[in-house]
Amino acid sequence: MNTIKALTLPLLVLALGQCSYLTPTQTDSQKGPILPRTPNILWLVAEDLSPIIPPFGDNTVATPNLTRLANEGIRYTQVFSSSGVCAPSRAAIATGMYQNRIGAQHMRTTNIADFGVEGIIPYEAVPPSYVKMHSQYFREAGYYTSNNAKEDYQFRKSVTAWDESSNTAHWRNRAEGQPFFSIFNFGITHESQIWRQAENPLLVDENLAVPVPPYLADTEIGRQDIRRVYSNIVAMDRQVGEILDQLEEDGLMDSTIIFWYTDHGGPLPRQKRLLYDSGMHLPLIIRFPDQYRAGETDEQLISFVDFKSTILSLAGIEPPDYVDGRAFVGEYATTAARDYVHGAADRFDSKYDMIRAVRDDRFKYLRNFNPEKPYYVPLPYREQMPAMQELLRMRDAGELSPAQAQWFRTSKEREELFDVLNDPYELNNIAADPAYTGKLAELRKEMDSWMSFIDDKGLMPEVELIESMWPNGVQPATLAPIAKKSSNGGLITLHSGTEGASIGFQLLSEGDEVGTTWQIYLNPVSVKADQRLLAIAHRIGFIPSPTITVEN
């Protein structure tokens, strides 16, 4: 029997023709890079990493592959996640909407049982019906989309989101000549790898001198974990190099836009999960095929909610109007730069807190909605890290410096304001300083406006949030597609009664097995006499529908 691995390309791709993929459409340098009509887009995503690599000024270790990308591309120095942790940030990237707009702000939603959150059931966030994942727009435009392999969007990926999402997903699995949008995730820099790699030799000198932020323990235990962070950076850089080598082997460097970025700030204590720059600030490098602005630095403010619009813009696909972000380069780039970026922190594992952040190019404003709670949130997962255990030991022994002790204060200021230019570690709260009254009022007003505009779901108790998306605690289900045959029986029209549901289909001949990839239904499907059509519908956050079979 024959197994269907990849289905035929969408009709749109066939209409384009293979020769159209490399036709330049932009030649005016003021508009941006000279791009193929349908450029490939490759995302290389490292986990849990602040801008502590040579292209961003930290020369503790060498990163030849990232340095090459930076020399041939643009370094974006003011890029921020919308959360200090991965799953909410990934929800924002995939949808182009703030996670606290779509009910995806809590870390996490789908495996709550692992943390024992009382009274809360595992659930998927339910974005508005019109929301589609970033990758689906590419598929609808004829791209091959692959994800290797991190998902974790706070909702199940839609069945039409990817051609392939697995540990073996690769652009090499596409049809010849087909453009691609491919993601590769590098987990070696994840927080957990600080302790899970402890038995493996370091890839740096065992006595490497490392920078120690003032809020961390400057002891041998603390420094050793920092060395492990840099060792993991070396390993990640090598993995990036392997993907770049494959791109060159395939002759694709001159037709591919490469993004390298990280999913939020660093993995160490007082970094990940927090809304200080140590948790939100991240590096981004974009290399264009024509090496547009090679070696330059760009200081415009960029948020994760901008990524979706930007990659669509680069592919010549008009971004949807529901997104919270802006395209900062490409055909649909907007001229107005951002004045602010925003961030949100909510439940982590079983611990509730709520913090919101607004940042401009110099000042950060934090609002603590639970000032009676301590800054430090005890999380068993993080406390596996020796550097975290060392801080706790020092706390209990009364050995913390004033900077280290700040994180362990038993209550919070209602408002915090930091001059991140002169106070990059955000240790000096100037909210009460009369000299900054105007700036405090400006950022306070901006936060109020932003939270109101997005209808911030963090203001709802999580039980109520779940009820609003899953009435009576039951996940809504997508209605099965309804098939209608044309009068001559050759064309099948599909429709789902669930608003916003996408429909996927497969065409199978006798002896074919059901594949894992669903083609996106865009137009009536021609079905031959010896074929049968399988169809499924799925709205994000809903249960996918049953599969229907239509015989011709």
Which residues are known to be catalytic? 86
Residues 6+ apart with CB under 8 A from 255: 21, 22, 36, 39, 40, 289
Which backbone phi and psi does 256 adopt, to 5 degrees? -130, 130
- Given CA atoms 325, 326, 330, 332 in this order, what sign does their dihedral have? positive
Cis peptide before 108 (omega within 30 of 0): yes
Closest CA to 185 of 245, 243, 272, 103: 243
Where does residue 177 rank: exposed (0-12), middle (13-18), buried (19+ CB within 10 A)?
middle
User: Cα angle at 87 between 83 and 88, to 5 degrees?
Assistant: 40
Length of the chain counted residue by residue: 552
Amino acid 123 reads Y
Q: DSSP secondary structure string, 134-202?
A: HHHHHHHTT-EEEEES----SSPPPTTS-SEESTT--GGGSPTT--EEEEEEEGGGSTTHHHHTTTSPP
CB 545 within 8 A of CB 479: yes
Closest CA to 99 of 82, 86, 111, 81: 82
